[in-house]
Structure 1
């Protein structure tokens, strides 16, 4: 491999474009880091508190949004807050590019800054994908379809819910995706950067496509990952095209790093890189394994775990028939996670409840997550055959509900196993 030289002349357009890209990517990495860099969350604690005041002000005073920004980055990375941050980054980058272009006309190139920008991007994309990959290899991000999903109609799921169910079904496919994403470790080394970027482009493009076409709220970050990966590949693009489409032999240059004359600094650089890599792989794995105790397929099941089909629903001594238009009678009760339950009513609408179960006194309290005045207080029995009986009150109404726990192995999705031979397509 050849080294890319610092002694080159860039065109005016190249320099202007680089100034913008440099500012935009660095600002994005700083403010949309998602804890990718070690200890970054601690460093950004106070700046983020300031942003939580500044960004809503920009939304109201500059962009004249018709609503206040009260929701900040959470499980969704596509909140209004995130888009306004993106707007601010864009404005600062454009303004900074203009000012930089006015005051700096003498530099022949920005090869040194280019090198450090690639370092920031390589570690940002690489560490983020290693984290994403680990939660797939260990299968934490996408859970196997649980009791709520198995009892849900296809048409009642959201596009994201459908995608999560599809991706969570297969342990093998998660392993395949995870290994591909963990391969982003190649980005952390200059000599394997191009190979890592090619693999990363395929994985991030697939992630971005799922996010866009299944309405998964990580569109901003996934688009940035694809864009940054393309930036890393840009200096090899012409050579890769020649190799792939003309068969010409090419040499891919290694991005030249600044010379470090002192030996102890060279050693320190490798120690720091080793610590970062160890943090990503070892500490990341420990964290994910620990998280399995609370989330994912290996998480402990609550004592009343199951999908229950309602056979009898009596309210104030009146038996309510199972009419599909009924908005009061329960159809199913799904208990999948400790402290939580989902009720599916006969008319197919659902409601989430917080639960508190006392398995000694056989008492179950349920409180609506959307309206805390809606509460149930039950005495219950659950026998070995799966007959689950609730007897209690909701406000001033008395309720008697008898249910049968469904055998999850009877669902076609669960019992259908892998087959090498299929005489006919089994597409149901």
Structure 2
């Protein structure tokens, strides 16, 4: 058993069933969503454990008036967690990995069929400049790593985490728990200077913001060890984070290699059994669009706008593609292709018992208004389409 993950995956479902009496079993654990039932029960369990621990500690050590040293190390842990977490988030925005440019699937998806999260990803991913703005605002959380700049960093971070939290809440992005915790942790860091900040913003009295006092080590080597550990931790996180992000950008970013026949193709002519089908919007046989965006996958849209997904196996030597429908993997068929021009793709072969010849033209992404509108200093009229 790999502790603590596997232990929690046994304990948390038990708590959900026997303590909270949930009407369903917890079977999904933390995945692409950070807001699973499992995650909420984990937060509940941690909160109850923290409350119980606080009560017991307070009773056993009720004569102590303050915990200056413990407070310092607690704020240090929180500062480093928030700073390094937001650095990674910000870095992925700067290189445009978290919010990639709208892909062909998004550009051809009916607007009303997108989810709130899909809409947010399209909105945020459209603009490289806005990604840079968000990314550098989050990277500014590195100011939290130093006591003298902690308050400035916390003010900036409070604004960025509030914005992230709002997007997650109001666009139903399943990272609500993490973004809320980052916001609350930042409030905690600011609480030390809350009175001074209120005085600064609401009065004309002079204000100073002294850094949190660090414990004084009695031996020189302890100071050296502390500074060395801090330098190594920050350096490793930044350097390795940038390296990993750049590697992922090469593989999955906007400029990553595309499949051989990548593109969105409009079907110009569709011939079945030597009969050319006219482009009638009620025809469920004639193809309307054909899309290859990811290696090994394709999407077909017929004239009624019904879509079908396929696993495809491409043989570039024989110039043929095996199509395996996702809906029925037993219905496999093979089409031979040729590319008579840089933006042309033709298919010939058999679909079940019917012979087909399909002639298509690739559509340029710049044909979409969203992708060709660009930036304009001067707008004589609002261009809201």
Kept in 2: contact 1:130–1:280 (CA 8 A): no
**Match 2:15 to one of 58, 61, 74:** 58
- In structure 1, the residue matched to 2:152 is 195
Q: Deviation per CA, 1:240-264: give whole Å up to 9, x if none.
A: 1111121321111211111112111
Aligned length: 385
CA RMSD of superposed structures (Å): 2.4
- In structure 1, the residue matched to 2:190 is 233
Gaps of 5+ in 2: none
Gaps of 5+ in 1: 1-43
> Matches of 2:17 and 2:284 in 1, distance apart?
40
Distance 1:416 1:67, change over 3 A: same
- In structure 2, the residue matched to 1:246 is 203
Distance 1:70 1:400, change over 3 A: farther
> Matches of 2:352 and 2:14 in 1, distance apart?
43
- After the TM superposition, which residues 157-236 of structure 1 pair with which residues of structure 2 at under 5 Å, given as runs? 157-236=114-193
1:75 has 2:27 as partner: no
> Matches of 2:57 and 2:330 in 1, distance apart?
59
- In structure 2, the residue matched to 1:337 is 294
> Matches of 2:363 and 2:306 in 1, distance apart?
20
Distance 1:317 1:55, change over 3 A: farther
- In structure 2, the residue matched to 1:408 is 365
| Structure of greater relative contact order (alpha carbons < 8 Å, 6+ residues apart) | 1
TM (normalized to structure 2)? 0.91
> Matches of 2:68 and 2:128 in 1, distance apart?
44
- In structure 1, the residue matched to 2:70 is 113
- After the TM superposition, which residues 2-151 of structure 1 pair with which residues of structure 2 at under 5 Å, given as runs? 45-151=2-108
Distance 1:365 1:80, change over 3 A: farther
**1:323: how far off?**
5.0
**1:161: how far off?**
1.1
| Range with bigger deviation, 268-277 or 402-411 | 402-411
Distance 1:316 1:156, change over 3 A: farther
Distance 1:90 1:366, change over 3 A: farther
**1:80: how far off?**
1.8
SS of residue paired to 1:391: strand
SS of residue paired to 1:46: coil
- In structure 2, the residue matched to 1:269 is 226
**1:394: how far off?**
5.5
> Matches of 2:5 and 2:13 in 1, distance apart?
12
- In structure 2, the residue matched to 1:25 is none
| Range with bigger deviation, 246-255 or 225-234 | 246-255
**1:386: how far off?**
2.5
Q: Deviation per CA, 1:343-402: give whole Å up to 9, x if none.
A: 344444544433322222112234345654454432222231533233345566665543
- In structure 2, the residue matched to 1:15 is none
SS of residue paired to 1:292: helix
**1:165: how far off?**
1.1
Distance 1:333 1:91, change over 3 A: farther
Distance 1:68 1:364, change over 3 A: farther
